[in-house]
Amino acid sequence: MRIAFLTAPTGVEQIELTVPWRAVTGAGHKPVLVSTRPGDVRAFHHLDKADGFPVDEVVGEVAAESFGGLVLPGGVANPDFLRLNERAVSFVRDFFGQGLPVAAICHAPWTLIEADVVRGRVLTSWPSLRTDILNAGGLGAPPTPLRQWGRVDEQVVVCDHGPNKLITSRKPDDLKAFCEAFLEQFAKAKEAV
């Protein structure tokens, strides 16, 4: 099964791209690097430039239905660039329209917010996205005194509100749990087809 990894031309957090990529490959799927333009994407280790990775396909030239799922790596700049590109936002939105699983880590929910797909969903993220998620209609777990502000502080959250699964995680330290959760959901989606 082909799995799309959507990144901007620059700013993706390298570990949030490479660890899920290896997990997808290890599970027998084919990861495909999709970006807003051809060439290479430049990864970062936080704020320091890291490696370049070749783009396989370009948004606007590929359809969500040609994949079995979507991974949105974080990095502060990556989702900020993506949410300003209508073709990238539309590509993300199409995964939800197709009922395909979507996995997002760290700052990546910014792209989900721009695609208007978090309303009524339970998700987690990097802490600074709290207000953005709440304002976009994202929810925390069932309200408790500790969970009233629209973000769940857990390693991984799998939300099945709507026709597809949304898998989110907070940060690089959560990558093991994140990869296990999205691989499980990708496998279930593959069985359903």
CA distance 184 to 190: 10
171 pLDDT above the threshold of 90: yes
Q: pLDDT tens across 11-24, in order?
A: 999 999 999 999 99
pLDDT at residue 138, as a whole number: 86
87 pLDDT above the threshold of 80: yes
List the domains of the chain with CATH numbers. 2-118+166-192 (3.40.50.880)
CA distance 86 to 74: 18
Catalytic residue among 29, 45, 46, 106: 106
pLDDT at residue 148, as a whole number: 45
Catalytic residue among 29, 45, 46, 107: 107
33 pLDDT above the threshold of 50: yes
Per-residue pLDDT, averaged over 62-82, amounts to 97
User: pTM here?
Assistant: 0.94
187 pLDDT above the threshold of 50: yes
Q: Cα–chain-centroid distance for residue 173?
A: 16
**140 band by pLDDT with thresholds 50, 70 and 90:** low
Nearest CA to 23 among 103, 89, 92?
A: 103
32 pLDDT above the threshold of 80: yes
- Residue 106's φ and ψ, nearest 5 degrees, are 65, -115
CB 92 within 8 A of CB 70: yes
Residue 17: exposed, middle, or buried by beta-carbon count in 10 A (0-12, 13-18, 19+)? buried
Is 159 a residue of the active site?
no
Q: What is the mean pLDDT of the chain?
A: 92
